[in-house]
Amino acid sequence: MVSPPSAAKPERAYHHGDLRNALIDAGLNALEAQDASELSLRALARELGVSANAVYRHFADKDALLSALAAEGFRRFAREQREARAQVATAPVATGLGYIRFAQRHPALFRLMFGRFTRACDSAELQEAALAAFGELLEDSRSKQPTAEGVAAAPGSAAAPAGAAIDEATMLRAIARWSLVHGLSHLMLEGQLSFFGPGAASDQLAAGVLMASGLGSAPPAAPCGQAAPLAQPRGKPSTKASS
């Protein structure tokens, strides 16, 4: 008895504009299991059931895809930082822990976002996303201003409007906090704290380090007649990976 021929697997169809987003999603999923250097446009095309030529219509080369992946990573990172900042009133180190958790959940993406490739890339999309993410660190570092009721207003509130000019003290606090959480993230990712015991990658240790550093302390209120604000940073912040 002759078996009927198996039905050919239908090629996945994408409407105009859908394939780019599908490739980004597939690339981000691939980064959960492999390093950015191992990504392949042709492999992603096979996974999505499309031709290599279709992929190259959206991304001229692998670097173009990596740029888009890093940009999406910064957008997701910024969103998580905003959500964490809403918890600061009850969890003072929420934003710092959010930074570290992002790195631990997405190590390959984190390294791509803050690696040499990203620093050298001149993509406008990536630059915009990276600056927006750094803006979240700036908002978290703003001085808390007293309201009419005498209660300190949270950063980003009406008393400390988002997007206002950045003074020198705020910029320095942001860089100091960034240096701390970024360095701690890398130490934990690379297992450099393992000699402290099996809990060296835990939230408890991270929270303890952040509190000991003073990160959980509220920024001081800006004094009257404070120094003139700094100009907004131009270009994306340095994203050179830690060694």
pLDDT digits (tens, 9 = 90+) for 16-50: 458 999 999 999 999 999 999 999 999 999 999 99
User: Where does a domain end: 60, 91, 114?
Assistant: 60
pLDDT given at position 4: 52
pLDDT given at position 215: 76
Tell me the HSE value of 108 on the side-chain side, using a 13 A CA sphere.
15
pLDDT given at position 220: 53
pLDDT given at position 144: 52
How far CA 16 is from CA of 13, 26, 120, in Å, comes to: 10, 17, 30
Residue of 126, 100, 125 lying closest to 112 (CA atoms): 126
User: What is the spatial distance between Cα 156 and Cα 203, in angstroms, rounded to a whole number?
Assistant: 26
Q: Quick check: is 130 in a domain?
A: yes
Q: Quick check: is 91 in a domain?
A: yes
User: What is the spatial distance between Cα 80 and Cα 74, in angstroms, rounded to a whole number?
Assistant: 10
Structural domain span for residue 160:
70-212
Q: Specify the number of domains making up the chain.
A: 2
CATH number at residue 56: 1.10.10
pLDDT given at position 37: 93
* Domain identity same for 106 and 201: yes
Q: Quick check: is 151 in a domain?
A: yes
* Contact of 210 with 93, CB cutoff 8 Å: yes
All residue ranges of the chain with pLDDT < 50 are: 6-11, 13-16, 145-161, 222-243
* Domain identity same for 99 and 192: yes
